[in-house]
Every structure is written in structure tokens, then in C-alpha cells.
Structure 1
Amino acid sequence: MANTMKSVVSFTFTLCASNLVSGQVRYSIPEELGQGAFVGNIVEDLKQNIRELSARNVQFISNDRNQYMDENEENGIVLVRERIDREHLCGQSSTCSLHFQIVLDNPVEIGRLVVTVLDINDNSPSFSKDNYYIQVNEVISPGAHYPLESAYDPDVGTNSINSYQISPNSHFGIKVQTRSDGSKMAALLLEEPLDREQQSTFHLVLMAIDGGIPHRSGTAQIIISITDANDNAPVFDHEMYRTNVLENAPEGTLVIKLNAVDLDEGTNAELTYSFTSHTLQRARELFRLDPGTGDIRVQGLLDFEENNIHELYVEAVDKGPYLMTGHTKVLVGLIDVNDNTPKLEVTSVSSTIPEDAHPGTVIAAISVRDPDIGENGQVQCEIDVNIAFKLQKTQNNNYKLVSNGVLDCETYPEYNISISCWDSGSPSLATITSILVSISDVNDNAPKFTQASYNMLVRENNQPGAFLSAVTALDPDFAQNGAMSYSFLKNQLQNVSASPYISINSESGTIYALLAFDYEQLKNFQTIVQAQDAGVPSLSSTAIVNVIILDQNDNAPVIISPLPCNSLASVRIDRQAIYPGDVITKVIATDADSGMNTRLSFQMLEASGSRLFSVSLLSGEISAVRRFNNQDAITQKVVVMVKDNGQPSLSSTTTICFSVLSNVPEKFLVQNRQPSDPENFTELYIYLIIIFGSTSFVFLATIVILVVLKCKQDRNINHYNPTCCCCYRRSNSNEAFNRRTMPKDMISYTGAHPSLPISETYLYPIHIPPESSKRDYLFLKPCDATLPLNELNVHTSSVTK
């Protein structure tokens, strides 16, 4: 360990052994050596005998509060008493030394010991914050730079900060500059155009690297937010200012007045000025910057011999929702000057210009004079190149302000144009004058509807004058050019005029119904609405309005079968031919409404017989539940209700009277059984076929008798025309039903099986679904069949809503 320490220590001395008073011993050691580390051997360096020095009582006397060194009296070796931190001991001074006096007795002699503490790279660069936030507008052109916070490294010399790096990315780079004192500062450099819609945020890592070996580094994260191009960043009159001030100027003396211009308005144009982190602390102590006015004043004692020029880095920040900054550099020279600023006089100002003015239109005449002579009296003027105006020099120091692009009142209703003029002196002096130019509106924008078409839904049976909806059009022009009126065009779509049905408020665009709509008569129509401004000439645009009428359940079902005739109907059935499940008749109804309102269901409300009939819920088919017996009445009454699926539902009822007959002649009976599959035949069927074949002559005789009886019966009843006992009271939907063309299959109900061959003049064929293996029967055709008066029952039906 001792050898190691010794190898890193170097010393020099100038000593006269015979006269120690004029001698001096120098040692150089690195900082951070541990306690007991070897510094040097005073005996060897003084070329003295150890015994002689011990006898003369060698002492080390230091002016420092801490005694960092010890001397071994036995061998004359100088050791480190406690750890030395150079940064704590000497700060950032370029040299750091410990001074001791070497005192010897008998005789008294005094020498000097100087221990130089060398800096080692034991500190890494660090930033004051972990995260730095920078906002960059997406319209900023490549080449713009943004000052970054400087890192701090307590080490000195080559161990201090040497360079900055930034993490690789596609848009930003780093620009490192060297101050006059040799320190480094970094600025963020925009290298590629930005597009906020593609990437709105960048997370970059800024690294500060020192020059030590090995290198040490510190990092901070830079969060860059890309703002939308809805505002303007403050712009100083110059990228760099030069000014001078007497070195004996008293505190409060104005050094320079900075001015930045923000083309925005309101709070977005209110600026705050401040020094950036690149401004050295010493410069901050000497100068004060007013955050509101941009004035830089003296606040410390200036000393030309200390520094004859100061660099001040200033930023102007606006107060918009997304902070925008402008930067400039001010060079303050400590010299005595006496100068004059250019004087501007603006004449013939046209404060208002129409937005359709041609480029080259003269806005103002400007004359400039400078009482100085030579280069100090030669004046140049300019305005911001990013606006729709420019300065044209006429002669001598005279200018005119003219338009230089397309003006748009809706985008920029006014411009606050700052005219900057500066002379050619060194340093240059400048003056600024602002001209407010207002842009007058012309009618160059047509109204535009928020939608190309509007769909308006209204339920039928609405109240006349009911609100339907509203249309909206926008016009960015001002005053009368932006005032709109709404109306319906005379040329309509679908050859339907809107005037009888709807009206529109000409000011608000609100549309009202003029009458109560009937879905069954009119389901929808279209018309064209126009928005027209009040400009001269006026501009307009159109949109399509679709009015859609929604159905309501306002029509009850109408029963169309069995067909009524004189409000009565009758059905005849043979009690001996009816089997359970056989379809006797079918109730058919219709509904003038649409959608769910037309879905019908059937329900038996009342039946005179004991569980003789059933009604299908969906089809309306009336079927036999069981076979008739002798105890059942010959006249059966069935009340059926037909109900739609509306909300609330509407219904109609009908009463059907069945006349149950006995002993129908066999000649009118037709077998209706379907042949069974061969695999379903049994021995019983074979026996029955044999029996029926052997007794066929009995059937032939019976058929002859029935024919004779039927002919006599027909002669007896030809003089009677019965009315049916199937009747109902018609609802309002009968009118709608009478207007409709009923499909043929809704009036005639047909099945798949044959029926009793009674004359079609008197009887309906009755059918059941094909899957039924039971027989089918007949009911009498209304208005044609005849019945004895004592078999006629009349019932009245009702319609329920």
C-alpha cells in the first residue's frame, strides 16, 4: 500500500541545506488519499540527517483550520492525517494547495512546505432536474435551436464537462458551444421537419460527459412536446443585441430595452422575459432583467478589468395555453459611447384594407432619419417576413408598406406590424414602430350545412305544428355576410311539394309539421332546404331533408273470412264424420298497420259446447277437439278474438255458429283418409277391405236412396235465403281494408284433402294441414246455403280496442 501511494506522489523542492530559511519543499498528491497515505520524506528532500533533525525538534505549522498532514519524527516521512476533498477545500479554483511552515530549533530556521492537491475525476456531471420539458411548434423550420440546461461538475480542468450527447432520434440533434471561459453549453437542434399528427411527443436522453479518464457522465430526460400550429412564437427584433455601458454606471442604469413581437393577440401575445440557464451566474449578479418590460439594468458593480464584455442569453415566453419561447443574445460591452437611434415617422396610414385587395396595395409611407453621420446614419428597416406585407424602399431613407400575399379576414382580422429600423453603427442601434392594420370582410364564403342530408322521424297522428328537427348551416363571414336565412326550394324531389306538410323558421332553421301525418297514406317524402346569406351578391347552399313517418297502432284487425253477408253466416257439419284434430274452418283477418302492429294472434273467448273446438294461436284454424255425441247441442256458438301485436294492442271479435247435422247421405261423403304407408298396414285393415268389398251392393242401394232424398230436400229449401250467424261490428280499419287489394289466398282457404262433394253453391270445402290423417269436412257457403228457420241462431260480435 505504501509503495502504491508513493508511486502517485510527485514532489519538487528548492532547498539550500545550509540555509533552510530560503528553502521550499513542494509535494503534489491526488485528492481522496486515505489516512496514513505517503506524501513525502522530508529528511531525504532536505538532505539532512534524521538524528540531527530529530534533535532540532522539527514542527509543521499550518494556517488551515484542519491539519491534513502528519510528520513522523522518527523517519521524517510526511503522511496524510485525514482524507482531502479538493472540491470541498478549494471549490472550482484552478489550483489548490496546502501551505505549511517547517520550523527547526537550535538554531531556529524556517522553511516552507507546499502540498498541491491534484484533482481526480471523482465526480460525475449532474443536472439540477431529472426531467426538462420543451415545447416545439410543428411549423418550426429545421435549424432552430433551443438552449438546454447546463450540467454541473464540481471537478475542474479536463475532469470537468467536456461534451454533451443526445439519444439517437429522427428529428433532433445537439449543438455544443464553448463560452468565453472555456465551459460548454448545449442547445437542442431541430434537424428534420416536425409533424404533430405523426408524433406529438419525443422522449430524449441528454448526456453530459466530462474529460476525465475514465469518462464520467450524467443524464437527464428531455420531454419534447410538439404543439399544433395555432399560434406564433415570440420573435425578437434581432437574434443578437450589442450595447455598451459605462463601467462606472450606477445601479439602476438602463443597459438595453429588449422587445419581442408575438403576432398572436390577447394573452397569447403577453410576454415574460427571463435569463436562460446559459447566462453565467456572475452576469446575473451584475445585470437585472425586468420580466414585464424586457429592460436590462445594472444592479452590481461593473469592472472593465474583470471582464469587458458580458453575454446575456434572454428568452421571451408568451402566456398562451402552450408556452412558446423566443431567444436572443445580448452582448454588453463595458465602454463609454454616445449615439442616436433612428427616428421613424409614419404617414398616410390606411388602417383598413379589404381582404380581396391585390398584392402591392400601399398601406403606409414611412420616412426614417438618423442624426448621426457616416455609417451611424445609414439606416435599414425591415418587418417580419412571415406575414402578408413587405417594406419597399423608395429613395434615400423612405419606405412604403405594401401587401404581399393573400389576405383572409376570417383567419387574421388584423395585423400588428412591427417595423424595425437600425443604423450601421457598431454596435447597431435600432428603433421599432408598430402599425395596426385591420382586414375588412367581403362575402367570399358560402353557407355550409353541417350535414349533406337530414333524416327527420315523426310518428303518425302527430299534432299539427309539432317540432320535427332543425337544420344548421355555418358561414365564417362577418356581419351581414354571415347572416343566413332558411327556406325550402320550389323544385322538389319525388314530385312532392313540402309546403302542405312542413314549414321552416327562416332564422333558426327549425322545421315544424303543418298537419297530422297518416302512415297509411304517406310513408316518407324528400325536399330541399336552402341557406342563403345576406351578402351582396348573396351566396347559398342546399341540403336534402328526408321526412320519415313512423307507424302507430291505430287500426284494429279486420276479419275477412268467413265473409259477412247481411251480417249473418252459417256452417254445417256432419257430427258422424268429425274426428279429433280435423280443421273445420279458418278465421282470416288483416290489419292496415305495418311491422309488429300487423302480427295477429287468435284466441277463443267463448264456446257453447263442452271442449268441442280449439283455435290455432297463429293460423286461426278452428279444429275439433273430440267427436260429437248425441248429448251435444245441434247449434254450437264459438266467439273468436283476433288481436294485433301493437302497443297498446287492438282486437276484433267474431261469433261463428255451427249447425251440427246427422245422417248426411252417404253419396255426399268422400273418403278423406290418406293411404298409409305400406309398412303401417295391419291385418285389421285387410279384413276391413274384404268386408267392405263383399257388402258393396249394400252401399250402392244406400247411395240411390240418399240421392232421391237430397233432391227432394233441395226443392224444399230453394225458396229460403238464410243470413249467416257469423257477424261482427266493423271498426275504422274497414275503410283502410276496403282500400287495399286483398290477396286471393287470404280470401279462399284451401287444403290438401278432398271434402264432402256438396254443391259448391251451398258449401265451403274445409281442409286441414297435409300432415293430418283425419277426415276433412265442409261448412256452408255464406249467402248461398239454406237452413230451416228453427236451426238459425243470430249472434252479434264486437270489436275491442
Structure 2
Amino acid sequence: MLTWPKGLLQLVLLHTAWKMGSGQLHYSVLEESQRGTFVGRIAQDLGLEVSDLVPRMFRMLSKGEKDYFEVNVQNGILFVNSRIDREELCAKNADCVVHLEVIVEKPLRFFHVEVEIKDINDNAPIFSEREQILSIAELITSGTQFLLEGASDADIGTNALLAYKLSPNNHFSLDSGTDEDESKSIVLVLNIALDREESPVHHLVLTATDGGEPKLTGTVQLVIHVLDVNDNPPVFNQAVYKIKLLENTASGTLVTDLNATDLDEGINGEISYFFSNKLPLNFKNTFSINSNTGEIRVIGKLDYEDIKFYELQIVAEDKGSSALSGHCKLLIEVLDMNDNIPEVSVNSLSVPLPEDDTPGTVVAIISASDKDSGTNGQVSCFLWPTEQPFRLVSTFKNYYSLIVGAPLDREEVAEYKIVVTVQDQGIPPLSSSISLLVPISDVNDNAPAFTQPSYTVFVKENNPPGAHIFTVSASDPDVAENALITYWIDEKLWPLSSYISVHSENGKLYALQPLDYEELKLLEFQVRAKDAGLRSLCGNVTVQVFVMDENDNAPAVSRRNEENLILLMVPVMPGHIVGKIHALDADSGYNAWLSYELVEESSGPWAVGQYSGEVSTKYSLDGSEGSKIQSVLVLVKDHGKPQLSATATLSVSLVTNTHAIKTDIHLPRSGESFMPLVDLVNIYLIIAICSVSSLFLLAILIYVALRCHCKAKETMVYGPGTATLVCASEVGSWSYSNRQSHILAGVSAEAGAKSDLMIFSPNVPVSVNNGEFMNGTEMPPDSAKEHNFIGYFIFIDKFIL
């Protein structure tokens, strides 16, 4: 091995770096450079910070079998790692390049680096044998040429450019002119005819010198035997034959038919053909020659990718006693065919891919190659199916980046199967494919959603504590913790924790205490659902819980009916109203609809209004009636199921003159006009009837006003306050309650009733099953059209008769 001076090595070492395509660098280094020889500052030339090489997982891959180069990640310098023999690596190829691939991550980038291996003159010319033996007949005329086997030099370029020199002699000289194929043939020229008797053997030295610096030489001994008689050698009709053959030509195909002639006669003119002994063995295994006819045929496999050019030395020799020979050169060019399928491989793949990755994100780096040349080796790469959020971008030559081309959504497609196909441009085109599986990882981009914007729930009062009244359910299309939902009640506006609770995992709503319709009619609140993602998302739904009345309150009769004695002066006409029973029921609806009837035992001359509670006479009464004080027993019943009742006793005293009236009855003073008790009662009745009529008229006016107001305002604000259900009917009136009831609306910021009298036409339907309200039943809003109401619900704070 030659040792190069340090200064000369620095002058010879070429360091050139430039960027091509998506990041190609080109360096050059001399072969046989010592380990550690500087090649280039690869980190600087690639635009990378030296401090980022380790964090970004800088790595370099070599396509060859050996790692000739290595990068110092501490300073970013590319240096020689092992001995490089250009002749071993690239043989006689003029371009000797080592391909390197550099990959860094965060973000993922790919670079292609080429290092050209420069030749040095480290191989001397070598002859195949130590001596060459020639037989030359005497009397051969001067100018006759004899082909010599030349030397070979493993180097290339000027280092392999050989010059030949013959040792001084009187008979021979060298002719190393250039053939048509620009390759030198060494020809020994006879200048002066030989005389066997003078000198039967000639010993010469042939020296080959290359063109390198310093020059290297090789020698061979030439032994020339002078023969007698046969003085005409065979001659080919042309010195060089050129043939083109397609690769993969079938075995047995005729290449050419050589033709040589000999001017001698008889056996001295018979010619045999054969390959030169210096022909490489693989050439002899690929072609055959017929020794008698000179036909050359293919006997092996021609492969353009292995050998593109064959040079065959052919010898034609006569059969004279002193055989003479002629020579020619057969040059065979192998033509490329599209016989190699393109290859595609994945250099880097980053999966799974988060669904929120932006378009332009690199998913994989793909390389494609084809061993053919020309258009047969030009490849194109494409994806299948084409309708997908990915695309290929060409980075350098046959390197591609698979990038995100459109937004991703894991809830629509959880993973993609991508087929990458590479196809050459040969005729017919050849192709190959690989499949990539790209799973999409979930991010928390979907909030929990309820099936309905709101729920309406009906619950009968007097429910057991902790009763399950309804279940809300939300769904989240995300996965894992991003879809894990918890529920809670929003109590920012109203403290509902003493009434309602929700199970945090399954959304079940529970009534924590018995609900009392007379105390609470409506609970309106929001249930919120939150997922467990790192950036949690929420959804909410409004729940309206209507408390349904049950007949749990018996009618209550005012005790003033029994505390006072009613004085009735006789005679009295039939139908005369004696008094009225005052009764209340804390329930509502049918449960508070009261009817009155007399107990049979005490009916007598009395009658009571079924729905008004007014006690009147059935026929005329006079002083002949029996007892002066009579008791009227009235039974008050509601219409609930089960039916509840109460009794009231009315005491009536029949008087025939005003002197029998007790002293607590007002008598006119002197000078005042006397008003009979009957007229006083009638006046009270008239005043009561006018009051009720006025209230009824006022209720109608307010109802009309609220109906007009509701059309302009979609939602009604509810708040806590007193409320009692009142319904007008053809046969009577609901009784009125002065008990306190509330409506708690968790979605309203206003509280308190707006007025003492409010007519309410409910927009929430009531579901009736066999005359009873359904417990804990959600009713759809549209079902309100399917139910008929007896009247309008009137909510008032307090009613005073």
C-alpha cells in the first residue's frame, strides 16, 4: 500500500457538498485512506445543529455490506471507518459511489448522501503468465504482425492507461495503435525476416508501464521460436466484429459466423477456430465456438444488469507442421430488456397517527428502485385507493414521502390500509406493491351528547325515599378515557341536592325524599355529562320533573258552619237558601273536586246543592214545623281514588217572631229602619255572587293577556311560590286551597310569583292510564295534542271566599 504525504492527501482529497432535491450531499475521498480520515462536515452541510444530533436520533444507514463511513455525533464530522479498496468495491466501473441514507426525527427528515471513491495508482500492470511463447516461420515477409497478450491493471483512468516497451533487438518492434473500439492491442511486428539457421529462438522482454504517479510497471518474457516451411498465416476478412444481443437471448442462438482464409494449400491451409486462452472463464461459459466452421453461439445466460459488454479474442490457426495463426476481435453489446420488477420499501413509518395531525405531516419515507436502465428503470409511485387523506410527495429521485393530505377523524375511520404501487415505464410495464396499515389514535374531540335536548318526567307524590324516577344517558364517540362519562346535577342556580340526585356513572335519577304535590309541583334542573379526557368536554340536558297529585288529603270543612246557629224566620218559601257549607281539599284536579249530599237520616225538609254546598228548603215552612232547632248533616266527598270524605253539621233554628232572636243578632236602633234577617242573608249572597263573578271575569282577562304574551315569549320563567290547581266545569268548581306549594326551576334565575292570579294552559302533556297519572313517565312534547283537558289550570297564591 502506498503512503501518501499529508499535504498531498489534503490536496487530492476533494470535499464538495451541495444540496439536491430534498437533501442530497456529494463527497469524495481517496481509496485506501486511513481510518479516521476527514470526509466532510455532514451536520453543517445538512443544516443540522450538532447539539440536535443525539436528541433527534441521528442515524446513518449504508446500502452496502460494510460500514465504510461513520459520523461523530459530537462534532457532526463524517470520517472513514474502515479500509476502502476501490477495485474490490467497484471493479473497473468508472463511477464508484457509496450511497448513504441519513435519517433524523422530531420532525422526521431523510437525506441522501453520496461519497465518491477516488482511484489511486496502487496496482501495477500484471501479465497473466510469466512468459509468452510464439512460433514464427522463417521466410515470413517483413511487416507480419503477431498478437501479444497485454497486461491488465486493476486501476482506472490514467492509472490504468498502459504503455508498452520492447527490449532492444534487430528483428521486432511493437505496434500498439488504437483499434476501432478505442482499446489497445499489443502487436509484435516483424521488421526483418527471420532465419532459423541464424537464430532459432529469440528472447525478448515486454514491459508495461501505467500512467499513474508514481508509474508502476510489469514485465513478461517473450520466447520466439523460428519455424520452417509454413509461411502463410490465416487471415480474417475483418479485424473487428461488432454484434448487439438482447439480454435473456435463448441458449443456442447463433451470434455470428467467422470467416478466415489461408493462402497455403493442403493441410497448411486448413483452419481451426478457438478462443484465446486468456479469455475469462465466465465468457467461455456464456459463448461457444465451432472449431471447424467458426460459428459462435450463446450457451449461457445474458444479463444486462451483470455484464453489459463482452470482448472476445478469436484465434484462427492452420494445421501445417509449423502452424500459423490469425486473430480477430468480437465485440458483443448486450441490450437491456424490461425484465426486472421494480422494488419498493419503507425506510421509516411513524404510527399510530393522532387524528389531530395537520395536513403535511410525514407518515412514512418510501424508496423505489429498478435494476433496469433507461426507460425500463424509470419508475413512478402511486397510492391505492386514491380516495383517502394521504398523498405521496417525491423528495429525491426515487424517494417519496407519505404525508397527511386532509384532516383525519378517528370516529369516521379508525385505520387505513394503504397500498403503495411502483411501476416502471418499460413495455410492457412491470409493477410491485406493498401494504401499509396506518392506525389512527384518538384525541378527545367529541363532547358527550344526550339523545334529547330535554326530558320531561312525571312522578307521583308520596314516592318512597331514594326511588329511581328516570335515567338520562349521554354518548361519546371517542374511546377509552375520552369516552368515560360522569354525570352530575348543576346546582349553581338552585340547591336541589335535598330533592334529586344522579348516579355519576349510569345517569340514574333518584328522588331523595317523598315529594308532596301540595308543596312542590315542578323541579327543573340541568344534568351535565363530562368525559375523562385530558381536556375534558361537557354536555348538558334539561330535566323537568312534574309531581303528580294523589288523593291524599280529605276534604276539610270550615268549623264556622257548626259554631253559629242559623235563625230562620218562618214562613219560608220553597228553595229558600238557608246557608252554605264551606269545605276545602288540599289536593288538586279530580282529587279536589268536592260534592255535597245530605245524610239520609237528617234530610227532612232540607236539600243541599251537589256542587255548591248551599243548603235550601225543599218546601214551604211555617210555624207548625216540629222542632224549633233542626240539625242538617251534610256529607262532603272528593272525586279521587280512593274517595275521601268529611261531614258538616248545620244547625237551623225556626223562629216565628223577632223577639225570639238571640241578643247577638243586630236589631235596629231607634230611628233606624228594620231589615229582616232573610234580606241580610240575601244581600250577603248577592255580594258573594258578584265577587265570584268579578274574579271569574278577571281570570278570563288575565288568561287572554297571558296567552298573547306566551306567543311572543317561548319560555315561561318558573320560581318558588304558592300554587293551587283550579278547574272550571259545567257542573261546578274545584275547591280552593290556601296551602303553600312550590315550583323549583333549576334553569331560571328569577324567583317568586308574578301575580296573585295566573291562568296557565300547560304545554306539558299529562299521560293518563285508566284514569290515573303514570308515575315516573317521560312524555314527548307532541303528545299534548292527543289529550283533552276539562278546563284551564289556574294558579293563585291565595283565595279568600
Q: Same fold (TM over 0.5)?
A: no
TM-score between both structures, scaled by the size of structure 2? 0.40
TM-score between both structures, scaled by the size of structure 1? 0.40
